[in-house]
Amino acid sequence: MTNSSDNTAVADPGTLSPLNPLNPITPPSPLAELWRDFRRNRGALLGLALVLVFVFLAVFANWVAPYSPIEQYREAILVPPAWAEGGRMQFLLGTDPVGRDMLSRLIYGTRLSLLIGLVSIGLSMSLGIVLGLTAAYRGGKTDIAIMRCMDVLMALPSLLLAVAVIAILGPGLINAMYAIAIVQLPSFVRLTRAAALGELSRDYVTASRIAGAGPLRLMFIAVLPNCLAPLIVQATLGFSTAILDAAALGFLGLGAQPPTPEWGTMLSSALEFIQSAWWVVSLPGIAILLAVLAFNLMGDGLRDALDPKLKR
């Protein structure tokens, strides 16, 4: 009974309302329902578990990582992982060409990758929501102008656009985040606009309008919450693209610069050792793959759980 106000979103209040004494069954809250659908998908659960592990590593990197990510152990250069021949227990995943602990660098790299995803997707999504809602609400010339700008951004392949932005701003971690945010912007704008246009003709919006809601209240408080489902899915899937693009920019020397322990940067600065020391190249790649995979699995699961068409 506590969340009866939430229930109206999923249930017809006339027949299923918990307030109706003839029908005492309480429908599950939207969140509980989402979790029920999400839980059915084993891949999605695996993705969620991996994401949680990555988040844990990122947040507690200072405590989890055995060493500092930039501390160089001159007596331990290119030590193989502990289980390989010549490995040492003190460096579980070996060391890199200047004697830094791989495990610690990878753990700190998690923090960077998640930060890149969080900042770039946060920027992109908030700007995308504002632009998308503006386009939907104002319509006419504003709509056309915004959508044409998005078409221009969409005409450039993602990495090429990121590279173009980097060409303007100059290489670096922060600029890579801006670049990725710009690359992802069109999808958020288009999704928000499409969802908002669908909602604007609904009765509750008209009611809110009649009740005297201003455009800000109308769009952000009435309409936006009902457009969130596709945006959440896009944000999760976009997170994986952001990690991948940031790593690619780092690899090209256009993103984070050495000695930052960013996975793509680590990979490219160890390229010359690809034949002699497999771990310095393989391990960052595995980290990128796992992180991207985790967010993709979770995003797919969320989409299936949130998409009403696929619900039974």
Partner 1 sequence: MIAFLLRRLGVLIPTFIGITLLVFALIRLIPGDPVEAMSGERGMEASRHAELLKEFGLDRPLPVQYADYVYKAVKGDLGRSIVTQEPVMREFLDRFPATFELALCAIIFAVVIGIPAGILAAFKRNSVIDYGVMSVSLAGYSMPIFWWALLLILFFSVQLGWTPVSGRIAIEYDPQVVTGMMLVDTLLEGDFEAFRSALSHLILPTIALGTIPLATLARMTRSAMLEVLGEDYVRAARARGLSPLRVVGRHALRNALIPVITVIGLQVGTLLAGAILTETIFSWPGIGKWMVEAIHRRDYPVVQGGILMTATIVILVNLIVDVCYGIVNPRIRH
**Footprint on this chain of partner 1 (rule: CB under 8 A):** 43, 148-149, 151-152, 155-160, 163-164, 166-168, 170, 240, 244, 247-248, 251-254, 264, 267-268, 271, 274-275, 278, 281-282, 284-285, 288-289, 292-293, 296-297, 300
Looking at beta carbons only, is 57 or 165 nearer to partner 1?
Answer: 165
Looking at beta carbons only, is 130 or 147 nearer to partner 1?
Answer: 147
Looking at beta carbons only, is 34 or 156 nearer to partner 1?
Answer: 156
- Minimum CB distance to partner 1, residue 218 (Å): 29
Looking at beta carbons only, is 205 or 304 nearer to partner 1?
Answer: 304
- Minimum CB distance to partner 1, residue 263 (Å): 8
- Minimum CB distance to partner 1, residue 274 (Å): 6
Both tokens of residue 244?
A: 């991948």
- Minimum CB distance to partner 1, residue 57 (Å): 18
Residue 54 vs residues 64, 109, 194, 264: alpha-carbon distances, Å: 12, 10, 33, 17
d(CA 159, CA 180): 9
Looking at beta carbons only, is 84 or 274 nearer to partner 1?
Answer: 274
d(CA 63, CA 57): 9
Looking at beta carbons only, is 119 or 248 nearer to partner 1?
Answer: 248
- Minimum CB distance to partner 1, residue 165 (Å): 9
- Minimum CB distance to partner 1, residue 266 (Å): 11
